[in-house]
Homo-oligomer: A and B are copies of this chain.
């Protein structure tokens, strides 16, 4: 526990500095991270976790902020996680945080963090899951996870929130329309944002058409219209999320989501940890030599990885 100890109490009290530091620990793979997670683990499971996904330009950030404001009026504490895999290019996440903080903050009941971990494969998904847990432990009632909705990591993230809202807008291009067809599977709710634009009826008709083709699963995703910029329709979306939550709690939905999430976390951490151990055993000189042999076309990648692993086996009985 040692390293995690000083962080634990302020974190459980919901102090922002402790929360920010704990998230950095998780993202950076700080040695204290596992102990901290172990200490938090028994206290988790209180928060409502909502995903908002959709193409760039759909107005997800604005909608997220409006949802947060409405929940604040009920006295609820809200955590916002903006998952942005494009930011590795730009460092844009941090800038984005500052801008948004200015819009909502200073409010001790809203914590905003952008996640754009570059590095280990699956690292973004893992860091997001850790951040959800930290916010949950810190007493945040709702956690809103906003993603651009493409990329493997993001698919993973939205597949295990409690309620996934797919945000669409009328009149975007063909590729975005094509994307819609696929999004049925993850949508618990549809939000047609910028609903004061032309084409909203057509978009709603298309969604209803897709729903009828989907043969009706156990939950029929409702469709809401919003104009997030003006705050229109936001209360109805919150109500819809609550109804979906109630439905989840009635059946085996929550247990299913928990299993999916557990699997995802296990897989992501397993990959990180096996790679970490393999590299530690082999040392960086052998790693660089293996990569150089591939670049020089002396060895193909499959063979290079095989010999890298076979030449530094794990000591038995560890």
Answer yes or no: A220 CB below 8 A from chain B CBs: no
Stretch of A15-23, A35-43, A102-110 with 4 or more beta carbons under 8 angstroms from chain B: A35-43
A34 an interface residue at 8 Å Cβ cutoff?
yes
Closest B residue to A294 by beta carbon equals B262
A274 touches which one: B40, B274, B315 (CB < 8 A)?
A: B274
The residue from B87, B148, B179, B268 contacting A121, defined by CB atoms under 8 A apart: B268
Given A151-B85, A271-B275, A292-B262: A302 and B183 within 8 A (CB)?
A: no
**Closest chain B residue to A176, Cβ basis:** B56
B270 touching A278 by the CB < 8 A rule? yes
Number of identical monomers bound together in the oligomeric complex? 2
8 Å CB contact of A262 from B125, B265, B301, B313: B301
Interface of chain A, main secondary structure:
helix
Q: Which listed residue (B37, B40, B57, B259) contacts A172, Cβ 8 A?
A: B57
Cross-chain contact of A152 among B37, B91, B152 (Cβ < 8 A): B152
Q: How far is the CA of A177 from the CA of B63 in the complex (A)?
A: 19
Write the nearest CB–CB distance from A60 to chain B, whole angstroms. 8
Instruction: Decide if A213 is an interface residue (CB 8 Å cutoff).
Output: no
Residues in B neighbouring A304, C-beta threshold 8 A: 266
Q: Are A182 and B86 in contact (CB under 8 A)?
A: yes
- Tell me, yes or no, whether A249 is within 8 Å of chain B by CB: no
A33 interface hit (Cβ, 8 Å): yes
Residues of B within 8 A of A308 (CB): 266, 270
Known: A173-B56, A315-B313, A316-B314. A41 touches B300 (CB 8 A): yes
B179 A305 Cβ-Cβ under 8 A:
no
Asked if A197 is at the interface (CB within 8 A of a chain B CB), the reply is: no
Candidates B152, B299, B317; contact of A313 at CB < 8 Å: B317
Contacts of A309 in B (CB 8 A): 270, 273-274, 277
* Closest Cβ neighbor of A301 among chain B residues: B265
21 A-B residue pairings within 8 Å (CB atoms): A33-B302, A41-B297, A57-B176, A85-B152, A88-B155, A91-B182, A92-B181, A92-B182, A121-B125, A122-B122, A148-B175, A152-B152, A259-B291, A265-B301, A266-B304, A270-B305, A273-B305, A274-B274, A277-B309, A313-B314, A314-B316
Partner-B contacts on A (CB < 8 A): 33-34, 37-38, 40-42, 44-45, 55-57, 61, 85-92, 96, 118, 121-125, 129, 148-155, 172-176, 178-179, 181-186, 255, 258-259, 261-263, 265-271, 273-275, 277-279, 287, 290-292, 294-295, 297, 299-306, 308-310, 313-318
